[in-house]
Structure 1
Amino acid sequence: MSTVQKAWYKQVWPWVLLAFPLVSFIKAGHTIYVMQGANPDLVVDDYYKEGRAINMNLALYREAALRNLHATTLIAGNQVIVRFQENKTLGQHLKVEFFHNTIAAKDFVVTAERSGENLYVATLPSTLSGKWNLIVSDEHKDWKLRATAMLPVQQEIPLGY
């Protein structure tokens, strides 16, 4: 009785056993490739410098409180309208900064021009949706007002310190 044995590479079980490490190796390579293209936006390298910048920002909010600035903003379609309660001898232009909560590539800045005594109007690059942080400041960045909004929204958003 003679049995002819097939060569090892012609049998199924060695290939089944080799498939698991091979698939794991390919998946690890794919994961490394994907992670190289996705840098996290929320990680800060220099905590000390970032802390100093936060203190500078707080001073600008305090300056807005000292000037008794009160404003609201309305985002309608692709326009943003900033309305102050009273004229505090503001300039002809304001900076309105939009910061997305998680994706820094979506952040942008628009310049709002005076349209009347207490109104400033700017055109947005597109209609916004999702959670955004807004910062309104003058041209020289002497003061700042801020708000967080879930867009689109139908009512005015109060800007605070």
Structure 2
Amino acid sequence: MKSSWYKEPWAWLVFILPFTAVVAGIATYIIANHEPDSLVVGDYYKKGKSINLEVSKVKQAQKLGMRFALQFKNNELVIKPTGIEKIFPLLNVNFFHPTQEGKDFYLALTPDGNGYFRHHFEENIDGKWKVTLTPFENHWKIHNTISLPQHDFIDLIPDPTKAQ
């Protein structure tokens, strides 16, 4: 007497293994594409070219002798030029949070009577930040990672190894 195929346990084992792999693959695909990682770059060549451009801007800042000192205490940011005589009509300051893109912000600061760039914040911005300084013309750049608050002035100097 012949039994039906669906009554055999080995037949189910042969069918269930590939079926499980297909279901796991579909689930993995759905999970991976549900919320793509915002840190992944699609056009690597274009990103590489822009990194090279940024490195040349940092080298330009180094060549010009650009140096600044930054202090943040009592919710006031103070940036002062050090070692350079040039007066800047505008300084672009970008703050990038290393893990939370929504906290990033930009400041366009003009100098006060002493040549210092100041900004008062309503709320505290403690923590680790990547700070980028550029002039209005955007022909040089200084990029550093800092931790706030800073009661003493810290130096911001151009370093081509940190350009990004």
State the TM-score, normalized to the length of structure 1: 0.71
User: 1:88: how far off?
Assistant: 3.1
Q: Which residue of 2 aligns with 1:99?
A: 96
| Equivalence for 1:127 | 124
Task: Compare 111-120 and 46-55 and name the one that shifted more.
Answer: 111-120
Distance 1:124 1:141, change over 3 A: farther
1:49 aligns with 2:29: no
Measure the CA separation in 1 of the matches of 2:96 and 2:150.
Answer: 16
SS at match of 1:114: coil
Q: How many residues matched?
A: 134
Deviations 1:28-64 (A, max 9, x none): 7xx94xx83x542321111111111111111111111
Q: Deviations over 1:121-147 (max 9, x none)?
A: 123463112211001111111111122
Query: What is the CA–CA distance in structure 2 between the aligned matches of 1:101 and 1:41, rounded to whole Å?
Result: 12
Q: Alignment partner for residue 64 of structure 1, among 61, 65, 81? A: 61
CA distance in 1, matches of 2:41, 2:74: 33
SS in 2 for 1:118: coil
1:140 aligned partner, one-letter code: E
**Shift in Å at residue 78 of structure 1?**
2.9
Paired amino acid for 2:109: A
SS of corresponding position for 1:66: helix
Cα contact 1:93–1:113 (8 A) shared by 2:
yes
Structure 1 runs (4+) greater than 4 angstroms displaced: none
Q: Does 1:40 align with 2:45?
A: no
**Percentage identity across aligned positions?**
26
- How far the C-alpha of 1:119 sits from its partner, in A, is 1.1
- 1:152 match: 149
CA RMSD of aligned residues (A): 2.7
Matched, 1:139 2:136: yes
Where relative contact order (Cα < 8 A, 6+ residues apart) is larger, the structure is 2
Structure 1 SS opposite 2:110: strand
Q: Which amino acid aligns with 2:113?
A: G
Unaligned runs of 5+ residues in structure 2 are 1-26, 159-164
8 Å contact kept, 1:96–1:136 = yes
1:88 lines up with 2:108 in the alignment: no
Contact 2:80 2:117 in 1 (8 A): yes
What residue ranges of structure 1 are gaps of 5+ in the alignment? 1-27
